[in-house]
């Protein structure tokens, strides 16, 4: 991948800057996440993902804003949780 010149980098930064995008006023949907299966037998990485989501016990429910980061975490533990849109 070729290196970008400073002027090209500045142009791209201005073009894709978050304060200039038309998506600033869009609110994320809330989702309800419930742990339905035990974490016993899961990998350490999956256990840490559940901890990061705030799910530390069976049948615990949390509500979060739906963001790409949260959805990516849910994709990794989708076999352990139930997801509902609020």
- pLDDT tens digits, one per residue of 29-71: 899 999 999 999 999 999 999 999 999 999 999 999 999 999 9
Percentages helix, strand, coil for the chain (3-state, rounded to 5) are: 35, 20, 45
> Alpha helices of the chain — where are they, by DSSP H?
6-15, 44-53, 68-76
Output the pLDDT for position 86: 86
pTM of the complete model:
0.68
Q: What is the pLDDT of residue 1?
A: 47
Instruction: Give the single-character DSSP code of 18.
Output: G
Helices and strands, number each (H, E), in the chain: 3, 3
What is the CATH code of the structural domain delimited by 27-85?
3.30.1390.20
């Amino acid at each position: 991948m070729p290196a970008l010149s400073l002027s090209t980098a500045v142009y791209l930064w201005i073009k894709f800057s978050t304060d200039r995008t038309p998506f600033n006023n869009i609110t994320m949907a809330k989702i309800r996440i419930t742990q339905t299966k035990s974490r016993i037998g899961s990998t350490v990485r999956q256990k840490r993902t559940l901890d990061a989501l705030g799910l530390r016990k069976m049948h615990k429910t949390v509500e979060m804003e739906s963001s790409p980061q949260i959805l990516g975490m849910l994709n990794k533990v989708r076999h352990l949780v139930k997801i509902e849109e609020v």
